[in-house]
Chain A
Amino acid sequence: AQSVTQLGSHVSVSEGALVLLRCNYSSSVPPYLFWYVQYPNQGLQLLLKYTSAATLVKGINGFEAEFKKSETSFHLTKPSAHMSDAAEYFCAVSEGSGGYNKLIFGAGTRLAVHP
């Protein structure tokens, strides 16, 4: 079975600093990987997805993630944090069979951005 591990349940950065949120996956087949963001009392919004077309994936709001097969990692980065980036971030791997894919989520990382 596939799984996702997010290192660090809480990350705190200063406004303007680099954001790095870690995600490692376990999969026996080439994975589909996703990053979602969740703001308080809202659903999940897709930030970006990896589908094997390119190892460096650019998403919305200035975020990007790099797929590294050798490290089984898919870390999320943003060069300069903004106050509005404060939210919960979830990494997910898609587990598929029978023509559909269900998402397996990590436990999440709460990002705090301080002035």
Chain B
Amino acid sequence: GAGVSQSPRYKVAKRGQDVALRCDPISGHVSLFWYQQALGQGPEFLTYFQNEAQLDKSGLPSDRFFAERPEGSVSTLKIQRTQQEDSAVYLCASSLPRQEDSNQPQHFGDGTRLSIL
């Protein structure tokens, strides 16, 4: 089935390196979310896109984190000058637009496990 696809599944980087994580949402899903899941914790919201517009980046922990979705489909989360505390699983989710009296469920990818040495 055509679910949310994330790559790479695993990424190991040295402290100070830049990394880029990719998310390919379900076709037709205009809403795209990024979450960060630290070990033993629930996911925490990072940022939201509606098509190509980044409408909410309130959860990005620092200016080293940058996300884009230039054509309203594939999204990339970039982390510059990585630090050990960036080690986590990064989850991408997509959904249809919110409806007035309902709430579209978010469909999650399998995540990218990032380890910073």
The residues of A with any CB-CB pair to B shorter than 8 Å are 4, 32, 34, 36, 41-46, 49, 51, 90, 92, 94, 96, 98-108
Contacts and interface: CB of A to CB of B under 8 A. Distances in A.
Contacts of B109: 43
| SS class, residues of chain A in contact with chain B | strand
B42 A32 contact: no
Nearest to A45: B108
21 contacts: A36-B108, A41-B113, A43-B4, A43-B6, A44-B91, A46-B105, A49-B105, A51-B103, A98-B55, A99-B50, A99-B97, A99-B98, A100-B31, A100-B98, A102-B33, A102-B59, A103-B106, A104-B45, A105-B42, A105-B44, A106-B42
Given A51-B103, A102-B33, A105-B42, A96 B108 contact: no
Most B Cβ at <10 Å: residue of A44, A49, A108? A44
A43 B108 contact: yes
A100 B101 CA distance: 12
Contacts of B108: 36, 43-45
A90 B35 CA distance: 14
Interface residues of B, number: 32
A93 to B, nearest CB: 10
Interface of B: 4, 6, 31, 33, 35, 40-45, 48, 50, 55-56, 59, 91, 93, 97-98, 101-111, 113
Contacts of A46: 105-107
A37 to B, nearest CB: 11
Contact of B48 (A32, A90, A102, A108): A102
A103 B45 CA distance: 7
B42 A107 contact: yes
A43 B110 contact: yes
A43 B55 contact: no
B48 A100 contact: yes
B98 A103 contact: no
A50 to B, nearest CB: 9
A103 to B, nearest CB: 6
Contacts of B55: 98, 100
